[in-house]
């Protein structure tokens, strides 16, 4: 065994640990978000039969539409609570993300040290997330406004061009938003790499923009494979679920397993990009 084998094994083990950490946190938070909707379905009584709620997912079942009609008040209230929980979960997810980044950067610390460090970094992570959310919303709004402004100019053009142009502009806005998300991850990586007295969100963001200006294609080539891998996992799970008829417990369990495999696949690509973001931030020093 050569000298690089232990380092390779260490990197693989820390990447696996970071992936499991993100998977557990996301699964628990997703169960928390979905719990109010589950209570609303139970309150409607549509799943009280011998087969439970499996009858709602049978091909051609009208019970699902009946559930939406009868349980509309419960489902509306549950959806509001679920949206609030989803917002809070997205904020709380910043702590496991900081722990995962710290694990990828320095494998030798204890879990208590990592959690303490992540809690200290939480305000800066929250500021960066708010900036990213505002910028991405502005990019999508600019793409939408540009599409509306071009609509009169394309009134005499081919109908296919009129239909494709707004979609293409929104697609460009999404690509730019994904690119900015990569910049945000580099800023988070910078915060994790800094000493306790050098953890400023503004300085980390400026460092990430410097990385983008120096090597824009490195950021582009790093973040988009992660997005494409996540999309591939979701599409693969959706394709598998269309081949199933979840009328029995075995098929429902198989559908859950397919969903979790898709989540693990997307998290693996996410961890890969986080490692690349740490490397890009360190190399820019």
Task: Mention every residue, 6+ apart, whose C-beta is less than 8 A from residue 42.
Answer: 48
Which of 74, 92, 110 represents a domain boundary (last residue)?
92
Task: Name the pLDDT band for 1 (thresholds 50, 70, 90).
Answer: very low
Instruction: Specify if 132 maps to a domain.
Output: yes
Residue 36 sits in the same domain as residue 85: yes
Instruction: Specify if 110 maps to a domain.
Output: no
Q: Which two tokens stand for residue 274?
A: 């986080």
**Helices (H) and strands (E) in the chain — how many of each?**
9, 0
The per-residue pLDDT of the chain, averaged, comes to: 80
Instruction: Specify if 234 maps to a domain.
Output: yes
Report the alpha-carbon distance of residue 40 to residue 31 in Å, rounded: 14
Instruction: Specify if 105 maps to a domain.
Output: no
Task: Name the pLDDT band for 14 (thresholds 50, 70, 90).
Answer: confident
Residue 57 sits in the same domain as residue 188: no
pLDDT of residue 199: 60
Instruction: Specify if 168 maps to a domain.
Output: yes
- For the segment 123-141, the average pLDDT, to the nearest whole number, is 88
Return the higher-pLDDT residue of 61 and 275: 275
Residue 145 sits in the same domain as residue 260: yes
Report the alpha-carbon distance of residue 228 to residue 174 in Å, rounded: 13
Q: Dump pLDDT digits (tens) for 111-129.
A: 888 899 899 999 989 998 8
Residue 6 sits in the same domain as residue 82: yes
Number of domains in the chain: 2
Q: Which two tokens stand for residue 30?
A: 């997703």
Contact 79, 39 (CB under 8 A): no
Report the alpha-carbon distance of residue 83 to residue 34 in Å, rounded: 10
- For the segment 107-112, the average pLDDT, to the nearest whole number, is 82
For residue 138, pLDDT over 60 is answered with yes
Residue 139 sits in the same domain as residue 204: yes
pLDDT of residue 249: 54
Least confident of 84-93, 142-151, 180-189: 142-151
pLDDT of residue 232: 84
Residue 176 sits in the same domain as residue 272: yes
Task: Name the pLDDT band for 280 (thresholds 50, 70, 90).
Answer: confident
Least confident of 46-60, 114-128, 271-285: 46-60
For residue 96, pLDDT over 90 is answered with yes
Q: Dump pLDDT digits (tens) for 61-84.
A: 566 677 777 777 878 888 899 999
- For the segment 257-277, the average pLDDT, to the nearest whole number, is 87
Which domain, by its residues, includes 272?
120-285
Contact 99, 118 (CB under 8 A): yes
Report the alpha-carbon distance of residue 200 to residue 51 in Å, rounded: 55
Residue 152 sits in the same domain as residue 200: yes
Contact 170, 140 (CB under 8 A): yes
CA distances from 193 to 131, 142, 237 (A): 20, 34, 36
Contact 15, 57 (CB under 8 A): no
pLDDT of residue 47: 60
């Amino acid at each position: 065994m050569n000298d690089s084998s232990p380092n390779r094994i260490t990197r693989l083990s820390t990447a696996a640990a970071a992936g499991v950490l993100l998977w557990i946190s996301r699964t628990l938070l997703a169960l928390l978000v979905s719990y109010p909707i589950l209570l609303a379905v139970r309150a409607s009584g549509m799943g009280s039969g011998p087969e439970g709620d499996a009858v709602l997912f049978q091909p051609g079942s009208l019970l699902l539409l009946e559930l939406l009609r009868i349980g509309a008040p419960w489902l509306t209230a549950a959806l509001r609570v679920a949206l609030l929980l989803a917002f809070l979960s997205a904020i709380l997810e910043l702590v496991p993300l900081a722990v995962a980044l710290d694990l990828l950067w320095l494998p030798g610390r204890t879990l208590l040290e990592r959690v303490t460090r992540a809690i200290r970094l939480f305000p800066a992570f929250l500021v960066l997330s708010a900036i990213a959310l505002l910028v991405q919303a502005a990019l999508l709004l600019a793409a939408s406004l540009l599409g509306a402004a071009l609509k009169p100019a394309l009134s005499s053009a081919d109908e296919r061009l009129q239909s494709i142009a707004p979609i293409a502009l929104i697609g460009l806005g999404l690509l730019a938003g994904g690119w900015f998300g990569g910049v945000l991850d580099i800023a988070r990586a910078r915060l994790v790499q800094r000493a306790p007295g050098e953890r400023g969100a503004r300085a980390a963001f400026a460092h990430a923009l410097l990385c983008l200006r120096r090597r824009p294609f490195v950021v582009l080539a790093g973040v988009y494979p992660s997005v494409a891998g996540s999309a591939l996992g979701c599409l693969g799970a959706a394709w598998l679920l269309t081949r199933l008829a979840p009328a029995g417990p075995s098929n429902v369990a198989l559908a859950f397993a397919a969903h979790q495999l898709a989540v693990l696949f997307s998290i693996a690509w996410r961890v890969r990009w986080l490692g690349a973001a740490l490397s890009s931030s360190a190399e820019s020093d």
